Chains A and B, each alone.
Chain A
Amino acid sequence: MSRPVVITGVGMVTPLGISSEVVFDRLIAGESAVRPISSFDTADLPSHLGAEIADFDAKEIIPGRAIRKMDRLSRIAVAAAKLAMSDAGLVIDDDNMDRVGITLGVAYGSVDVSVQFATTLFDEGPTMVNPILVPNTVMNAPAGHSSIVLGFRGINCTVNHKETSGETAIAFAAGQIKKGRADVMFAGGADVVGRLIYEILGRFRALSPLDGKDEAARPFDVRRNGAAAGEGAGVICLESLESARKRGAKVYGEVAGFGMSAAPSPLNTWPTSTQGPVTALTRALESAGIAPGDVSYISASASGHPALDDLEAKAVAEVFGEGPSGPRVSSVKGAVGESASSGGVRAALSAMSLVRGVVPPTAGLETPAFPLNHVIGTGSETDISYIVQNGFSSGGTFVSLVYKISD
């Protein structure tokens, strides 16, 4: 069985806002949420910038008392799923609950809860640890909480493969609908930033300023010197075209295909050879049955990390060509930071671009280091037929998704 899979809802909790309309408008206007970290002290660290979620009150979005059992990661993930469900106008009832599922990508999980648990374990001893914390230390807690609160009894699982987690979760979910095993799948990703993960990313040379110069998030720029840590949750509602039509749901666009690949790489950085990402991109185009020239826009994985941006720019140029004849290319990580499983947020934004015919700029990009068809400054009206979204993770893992505008 092979059924068309469409996007019928989006939900986001990001440093640029909670409502998807607000987030999109601010991005298009060229705003960035990257600023000095305020939730913990960075005085003794080499990096100080990040994009943090502000003004988020989970109680306004998540119904009932279940929220008490959730840590911050699960709260933003469940809220994003709930927002996507509301946007899709989907009502869960006894008749459809077994055919509705959720697949989330989580790159780092609830590090703060694990630290709290480990602190008690090593300070006070194993009999003093709090069992209430245990469920939230597991990577699949956000998807589990989502299913309980929102009533999804269908397919449920969690992908945990660093910066490709969100894209892979979407690819898996779309496949379930395509094969007729589910009618609706919520899919996306969520990650939060805390002091320990920030320190670890710094020590493993992921964060700006790697060269000791000015600290900033500048994807694809000649002065790029590392990512800004970010956080956020983004979930899209995927649905069989048949189910969407039956409900009279609005359709953002279609998930037309995906490609995945690997390449040998050191664990904590990206390889230099383009063979891995080119394989993922080529397979994604094949899977969608399109040519490189059909793609109007690429939602890039580039974060400002020298190795990642270099690899992605070269792979994109290799597959799609250089200069203004190629598809528009931008990365929202200059505005919302690198939240690892950002694939969910970027999928939601791509869905909105399909409908609005506008693509966001790369905030922080002033002087491009690569001859791509960049979007600089503010959003650009673009005649969109297909969008490609890249998720490239350190350790050499690559996923490319293809979205298609609705007929």
Chain B
Amino acid sequence: MERIVITGLGTVNAVSKNVDEYTAALKNGECGVGPISVFDTTGYRTHTGGEVKDFSPRSMIPKEFSLHRMSRADKMAFIAALEALTNAGLFPFPGELSADTGVIIGGGAGGMLQGEEFFKEYITNGPERIRFSLMAPLHCAASADHIAGKLGLFGPKTTFMTACSSSANAMGFAADLIRDGLCRVVVTGGTEPLSRITYAGFNSLRSVDPEYPKPFDKNRQGLSLGEGAGVLILESLSHAKERGANIVAEFLGYGVTCDAHHMTAPAPDAGGAARSMRAALADAGIDATRIDYINAHGTATPANDLVETAAIKAVLGKRAYDVPVSSTKSMIGHTLGAAGALEAVASILAMNGGFISPTIHHTEPDPECDLDYVTEGAREGAMDIFLSNSFAFGGNNTTVIIGRFTEKGVVNE
């Protein structure tokens, strides 16, 4: 079977606007969660989030690309895509690859931040004289449409919207398309904007911490919503070699399961989460002893962290205590549709940088969450293979497994 490699990474998020800044922020354990300014939080129960600060897309996107009808999510995705393509040596985009390059994105609220202006006008003034143009980029499919359209790509294109596991699903399907020979390169990942409706929704469910998220801490009260985009260039190994690309990692496998239990709460027996990790291990053709690090879903909600800890123990057995587990969400917040991609990018950067990124804001251990959550700050450490979890509304669980690239294949070593 064709091996799938990763040849470029790109990101915009609450702690950084490119992968070099992201690496430094992960190493320093920086906190990107703070007061929100993209909308007025007066009257909301909480006021913080992982916002992309001082975002000036026009200065980050070459002038040849119009920003017309692009939402905040579209712009973040496009910036991350351009960075990833540039790092992969594919920008300016080589025209001869256009039919062989797909775009598979995990979406979330899409153009909701602008769409809310529309809703406000619609609700307050009715449909007369309303600016329907505000709705133009509402659909979360627009991010993939902009990337493929602006770069002239003719390969497979789609958008997954499986709430918080959207971009993990997107990466999995991207790998499948290459394995099936339907294309050779895929621009994949996810994008998510902060928006009032999402913010009010999570607040109404009482899942938001009023300060910042404290994953696996005894006093954790919930997540912080975040925003950003993460993009990875997936490519067949043969194609990457043929064009002499710089390979940054190998995509080893993914697994998807469903709790079939409750729309918003994880199954308390942790079965769905554990089956997701096992499915990914089976897809990668490795057993759990090969996992060197787990990038947790780690939202900091009381239920998630408990269930995820139990699932990790179920899959790793006694070894669970020896494998570092950390939550990128402690730094950038929960970026929902972009989370799987942003966390895969973070883990690859840490793997290649020889460190393990920390779980910040963790001060008091929870006796029921007793794994090694890397709470003392980033530590030096080598890893060959890591596993990243994304669990979602609807009982959806997705796990991806990525490894260091070696000629022989890290799974065979």
Chain B contacts of A200 at CB under 8 A? 132, 135
Asked if A86 is at the interface of the complex by the 8 Å CB criterion, the answer is no
Asked if A63 is at the interface of the complex by the 8 Å CB criterion, the answer is no
A135, B145: Cβ atoms closer than 8 Å: no
A75-B372 Cα distance, complex, nearest whole Å? 43
Residue of B nearest to A279 (CB): B154
Chain A contacts of B122 at CB under 8 A? 196
B394, A260: Cβ atoms closer than 8 Å: no
A160, B159: Cβ atoms closer than 8 Å: yes
Which A residues from 96 to 138 make CB contacts under 8 A with B?
Answer: 97-98, 101-102, 106, 114-115, 117-119, 121-123, 125-127, 129-131, 134-135, 137-138
Partner of A121, one of B145, B150, B157, B197: B197
Asked if A161 is at the interface of the complex by the 8 Å CB criterion, the answer is yes
A162-B110 Cα distance, complex, nearest whole Å? 13
Asked if A87 is at the interface of the complex by the 8 Å CB criterion, the answer is no
Asked if A19 is at the interface of the complex by the 8 Å CB criterion, the answer is no
Tell me the minimal C-beta distance from A103 to chain B in angstroms: 9
Which A residues from 118 to 168 make CB contacts under 8 A with B?
Answer: 118-119, 121-123, 125-127, 129-131, 134-135, 137-141, 143-145, 147-148, 150-162, 164, 168
A194-B99 Cα distance, complex, nearest whole Å? 37
B132, A203: Cβ atoms closer than 8 Å: yes
A159, B196: Cβ atoms closer than 8 Å: no
Interface-forming stretch among A225-233, A378-386, A391-399? Answer: A391-399
B279, A69: Cβ atoms closer than 8 Å: no
B43, A157: Cβ atoms closer than 8 Å: no
Partner of B159, one of A145, A159, A264, A399: A159
Which B residues from 107 to 136 make CB contacts under 8 A with A?
Answer: 107, 116, 119-120, 122-124, 127, 132, 135-136
Chain A contacts of B144 at CB under 8 A? 161, 397
B393, A144: Cβ atoms closer than 8 Å: yes
Chain A contacts of B148 at CB under 8 A? 262, 264, 396
Which A residues from 186 to 210 make CB contacts under 8 A with B?
Answer: 196, 199-200, 203-204
B260, A267: Cβ atoms closer than 8 Å: no
Partner of A138, one of B182, B199, B394: B394
Residue of A nearest to B145 (CB): A395
A263, B161: Cβ atoms closer than 8 Å: no
What mask results when residues 64 to 93 of chain B are scored 1 for a CB within 8 Å of chain A, else 0? 000001000000000000000000000000
Chain B contacts of A69 at CB under 8 A? 263
A370-B107 Cα distance, complex, nearest whole Å? 37
Asked if A276 is at the interface of the complex by the 8 Å CB criterion, the answer is yes
Interface-forming stretch among B173-181, B237-245, B292-300? Answer: B173-181
Partner of A123, one of B123, B136, B154: B123
What mask results when residues 145 to 160 of chain B are scored 1 for a CB within 8 Å of chain A, else 0? 1001110111111111
Tell me the minimal C-beta distance from A213 to chain B in angstroms: 23
Tell me the minimal C-beta distance from A263 to chain B in angstroms: 6
Asked if A326 is at the interface of the complex by the 8 Å CB criterion, the answer is no
A155, B69: Cβ atoms closer than 8 Å: no
B393, A129: Cβ atoms closer than 8 Å: no
Partner of B395, one of A123, A125, A144, A264: A144
B260, A172: Cβ atoms closer than 8 Å: no
Chain B contacts of A265 at CB under 8 A? 145, 149
Partner of A101, one of B99, B150, B201, B256: B256
A267, B69: Cβ atoms closer than 8 Å: yes
Partner of A181, one of B142, B156, B169, B279: B279
A118, B123: Cβ atoms closer than 8 Å: yes
Tell me the minimal C-beta distance from A113 to chain B in angstroms: 11
B260, A152: Cβ atoms closer than 8 Å: yes
Chain A contacts of B180 at CB under 8 A? 175, 287
Tell me the minimal C-beta distance from A82 to chain B in angstroms: 14
Asked if B258 is at the interface of the complex by the 8 Å CB criterion, the answer is yes
Asked if A272 is at the interface of the complex by the 8 Å CB criterion, the answer is no
Chain B contacts of A262 at CB under 8 A? 102-103, 145, 148-149, 153-157
Chain B contacts of A143 at CB under 8 A? 162, 394, 396
Chain B contacts of A117 at CB under 8 A? 197, 200-201
Interface residue tally of chain B, by bracket?
A: 35 or more
A279-B202 Cα distance, complex, nearest whole Å? 42
Asked if A259 is at the interface of the complex by the 8 Å CB criterion, the answer is yes
Asked if B53 is at the interface of the complex by the 8 Å CB criterion, the answer is no
What mask results when residues 181 to 207 of chain B are scored 1 for a CB within 8 Å of chain A, else 0? 010000000000000110111111110
Partner of A179, one of B137, B176, B258: B176
B197, A114: Cβ atoms closer than 8 Å: yes
B258, A137: Cβ atoms closer than 8 Å: no
Which A residues from 14 to 37 make CB contacts under 8 A with B?
Answer: none
Chain B contacts of A101 at CB under 8 A? 256, 258
Asked if B21 is at the interface of the complex by the 8 Å CB criterion, the answer is no
Tell me the minimal C-beta distance from B124 to chain A in angstroms: 7
A159-B159 Cα distance, complex, nearest whole Å? 6
Asked if B28 is at the interface of the complex by the 8 Å CB criterion, the answer is no
Which A residues from 275 to 311 make CB contacts under 8 A with B?
Answer: 275-276, 279, 283, 287
A148, B257: Cβ atoms closer than 8 Å: no
A134, B142: Cβ atoms closer than 8 Å: no
Chain A contacts of B176 at CB under 8 A? 172, 175, 179
A137, B43: Cβ atoms closer than 8 Å: no
Asked if B45 is at the interface of the complex by the 8 Å CB criterion, the answer is yes
A395-B135 Cα distance, complex, nearest whole Å? 14
Known: A119-B123, A153-B275, A287-B182. A148 touches B158 (CB 8 A): no
Asked if B44 is at the interface of the complex by the 8 Å CB criterion, the answer is yes
B43, A125: Cβ atoms closer than 8 Å: yes
Tell me the minimal C-beta distance from B188 to chain A in angstroms: 14
Residue of A nearest to B133 (CB): A203
Known: A144-B394, A160-B141, A262-B157. 14 other contacts (CB 8 A): A127-B45, A134-B264, A138-B161, A144-B395, A147-B259, A154-B257, A156-B256, A158-B162, A204-B132, A261-B154, A262-B145, A262-B155, A263-B149, A267-B69
Listed by A's residue number, 30 A-B pairs whose Cβ atoms lie within 8 Å are A98-B275, A101-B256, A102-B258, A122-B120, A127-B45, A129-B201, A131-B201, A131-B206, A134-B264, A143-B394, A145-B263, A152-B258, A153-B258, A156-B394, A157-B165, A157-B398, A160-B139, A160-B160, A175-B180, A181-B255, A260-B155, A260-B156, A260-B182, A262-B153, A263-B149, A264-B152, A265-B149, A268-B136, A279-B99, A393-B141
Q: Which 10 A-B pairs have the closest CB atoms?
A: A144-B394, A260-B156, A160-B161, A156-B258, A262-B157, A131-B204, A395-B145, A135-B263, A139-B161, A203-B132
